[in-house]
């Protein structure tokens, strides 16, 4: 299992960010189910796909679909599992739902190349029946607690707790308890063939059709119903005897689950800060500010779920500060170099305590490239536009040079930009033919001052 909050519920920051994201996405219609489904007939099997980190959105999705399966009286619920691990609090909730389900729950580690690592090992052990596709693996369930501050006592406590829990699951489902404890204490991991030979899982199935065939006739004990024998295959027809109902997360669940990937959380953090910085330099509640705020909320939610090293987050924020400083100094210098060093260091440290969830190098490279592009190109252009003298309206006259065509004492006329303007001065008087500079405007009257010894104006 891999999470900085592995042995504790989510942080306050994560809950606030999560609920903020839920509120925003809910207003956008994200709460609607992905697919409207009618109640199944008898002989229906639900296929619930579970991929990625085991987090609160996944736990909620599985809990809801298992409740629906029980309500609709399906033959069985199949969890197609492929996970590197996740939060203990979410994993335990899923295990409780499986243990108390009145519908047989079958964990199927698939497709080929999938894994049931860490939290996935516990979920597989909790299932009424479990199967693995070829070229899949299970194990490596040693708990990782980045929030423990390196305390050996706390690490031992977490490991002993996890070992006792998975051993009880092994006894409950009559599975190999020796490997279960080794997976927790020594991070042991095995492939599908060995898992079947060691009675870690009930068999192999590399396709859904094959799975429905091998589970047919299997008997299992379920909560509140006693022993149930599955009927999923028609021997005479040589085809499944059940209808498969495919379950999918709704848009909100998909978005919240997607942002718990390391690359998404990292890139959303940068995008959020870029959006807010752009909005600050271009005042007004615009699209950049709105998207930046949403990106930050989603990033904070993802970071609160992932095994985040918050020193890495601080380094990334510091890198953005360095880029802003160099932007103000109008050049690429030591601050930009410091920003690059900080963002690279922060990215490498961000999830360093959990190797399976380490930030991919392509995401780090993309973040560095996007930062340079944003500050060197986008923000530089935005600053030039902001500081550029207006070219239309009366404000465009301020700062221009002109020539007094009459004495200005205190009013007269001035020629600038090829046009005659009424002018006024606060000086004692300006002689005709003198060069003047426009300091301000009052309606259609220019407020001017003598230019002194400056060269002839180029704007008249």
Same domain, 159 and 223: yes
Give the H or E element holding residue 440.
strand 435-442
- Catalytic residue chosen out of the listed positions 63, 93, 157, 396: 157
118 included as an active-site residue = yes
Indicate if 293 and 247 belong to the same structural domain: no
Question: How many distinct structural domains can be found in the chain?
Answer: 3
Q: Report pLDDT digits (tens) over 37-83.
A: 444 445 899 999 999 889 888 999 999 999 999 999 999 999 999 99
Q: Examine the domain organization and report whether 134 and 179 are in the same domain.
A: yes
Residue 441: strand, helix, or coil: strand
pLDDT at 115: 95
Catalytic residue among 4, 90, 101, 118: 118
Residue 17, in any domain of the structure: no
Q: Is residue 224 domain-shared with residue 171, that is, in the same domain?
A: yes
In a domain, 9, yes or no: no
Residue 34 pLDDT level (bands cut at 50, 70, 90): very low
For residue range 366-400, what is the model confidence (pLDDT) as tens digits?
999 888 888 877 766 666 655 555 555 566 678 78
Residue 103 included in any domain? yes
Residue 455 pLDDT: 44
Please state, in angstroms and rounded to a whole number, the distance separating the CA atoms of residues 406 and 150: 84
**Positive or negative, the Cα torsion across 68, 70, 71, 72?**
positive
SS (H, E, C) 72-136: HCCCEEEEEEEECCECHHHHHHHHHHHHCCCCCEEEEECCCCCEEECHHHHHHHHCCEEEECCCC
How many C-beta neighbours within 10 Å does residue 352 have?
16
Active-site residue flag, 206: no
Q: Write out the residue range of the structural domain in which residue 286 sits.
A: 259-387
């Amino acid at each position: 299992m891999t999470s900085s909050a592995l042995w504790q519920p989510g942080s306050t920051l994560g809950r606030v960010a999560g609920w903020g994201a839920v509120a925003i996405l809910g207003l956008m219609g994200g709460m609607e189910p992905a697919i409207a489904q009618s109640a199944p007939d008898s002989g229906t099997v639900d296929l619930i796909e579970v991929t990625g980190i085991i987090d609160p959105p996944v736990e909620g999705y599985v809990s809801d679909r298992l409740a629906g399966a029980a309500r609709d009286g399906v033959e069985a619920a199949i969890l197609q599992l492929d996970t590197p691990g996740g939060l203990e609090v979410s994993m335990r909730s899923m295990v409780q739902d499986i243990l108390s389900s009145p519908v047989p729950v079958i964990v199927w580690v698939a497709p080929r190349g999938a894994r049931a690592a860490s939290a996935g090992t516990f979920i597989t052990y909790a299932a009424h029946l479990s199967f693995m596709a070829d070229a899949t693996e299970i194990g490596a369930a040693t708990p990782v607690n980045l929030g423990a501050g390196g305390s050996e006592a706390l690490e031992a406590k977490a490991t002993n707790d996890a070992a006792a829990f998975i051993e009880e699951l092994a006894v409950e489902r009559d599975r190999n308890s020796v490997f279960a404890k080794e997976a927790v204490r020594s991070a042991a991991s095995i492939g599908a063939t060995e898992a079947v030979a060691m009675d870690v899982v009930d068999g192999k199935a590399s396709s859904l059709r094959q799975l429905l065939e091998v589970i047919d006739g299997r008997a299992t004990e379920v909560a509140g119903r006693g022993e149930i024998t599955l009927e999923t295959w028609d021997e005479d027809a040589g085809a499944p005897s059940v209808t498969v109902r495919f379950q999918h997360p709704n848009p909100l669940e998909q978005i919240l689950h997607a942002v718990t990937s390391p690359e998404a959380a990292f890139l959303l953090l940068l995008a959020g800060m870029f959006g807010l910085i752009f909005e600050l330099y271009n005042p007004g509640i615009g699209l950049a500010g709105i998207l930046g705020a949403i990106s930050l909320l989603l990033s904070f939610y993802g970071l609160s779920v992932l095994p985040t090293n918050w020193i890495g987050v601080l380094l990334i924020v510091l890198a953005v500060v360095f880029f802003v400083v160099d932007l103000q100094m109008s050049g690429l210098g030591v601050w930009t170099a410091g920003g690059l060093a900080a963002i690279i260091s922060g990215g490498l440290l961000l999830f360093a305590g959990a190797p399976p969830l380490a930030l991919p190098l392509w995401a780090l490279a993309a973040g560095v490239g996007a930062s340079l592009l944003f500050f060197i190109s986008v923000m530089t252009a935005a600053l030039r536009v902001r500081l550029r003298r207006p070219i239309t309206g009366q404000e465009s006259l301020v700062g221009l040079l002109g020539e007094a065509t009459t004495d200005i004492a205190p009013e007269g006329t001035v020629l600038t930009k090829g046009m005659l303007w009424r002018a006024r001065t606060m000086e004692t008087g300006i002689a005709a033919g003198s060069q003047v500079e426009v300091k301000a405007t009052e309606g259609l009257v220019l407020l001017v001052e003598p230019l002194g010894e400056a060269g002839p104006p180029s704007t008249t």
